Amino acid sequence: MQKFKNHAKKNKPTFPNQQPEVVTRARIPRNNEVIGMVDQRVGANRMIVKCFDDKTRNCRIPGSLRRNLWIRPGDIVIVEPWEFEGDSKGDILFKYTPAAVAWLKNKGFIKETTTSEF
């Protein structure tokens, strides 16, 4: 019987041929949704997002996504502004992966200089 000194490594899967993620398409904003970059977390599932329509919004994560969507400052997200006070508040609907952000830059949805501005 094989003995393991570290039990955490016993059931760890190994991925010998891990390929880099290739994105052929990514979710783009629909209707009144905008792309933004998370600036800072405020607490209680709220964060300040600098949107690419030159507005800063205090956004929250809706209850259905609260456990599944982990967001840090610097992440690129899709924001849906509220109907009431839409210039200052909104909901975060989607978080882009780094490969999807590169795809959006190649397609022209995000400018190269906008990420360094923030």
CATH of residue 84 = 2.40.50.140
**pTM for this one?**
0.76
Q: Is residue 53 part of a domain?
A: yes
What is the predicted pLDDT for the residue at 118?
A: 44
Q: Looking at the domain assignment, is residue 23 inside a domain?
A: no
Q: What pLDDT is recorded for position 115?
A: 46
pLDDT tens-place values along the chain, 118 residues long: 566 566 666 666 666 666 667 777 888 999 999 999 999 999 889 999 999 999 999 999 998 888 888 899 999 999 999 999 889 999 999 999 999 999 999 999 887 654 444 4
> Is residue 102, in this structure, part of any structural domain at all?
yes
DSSP letters of 75-108? -EEEEEE-SSSTTTEEEEEEE--HHHHHHHHHHT
CA 35 to chain centre: 10
Q: Which domain holds residue 36?
A: 30-117
Domain count within the chain:
1
Closest C-alpha among 110, 97, 109 to residue 71 = 97
| 9 occurs within a structural domain | no
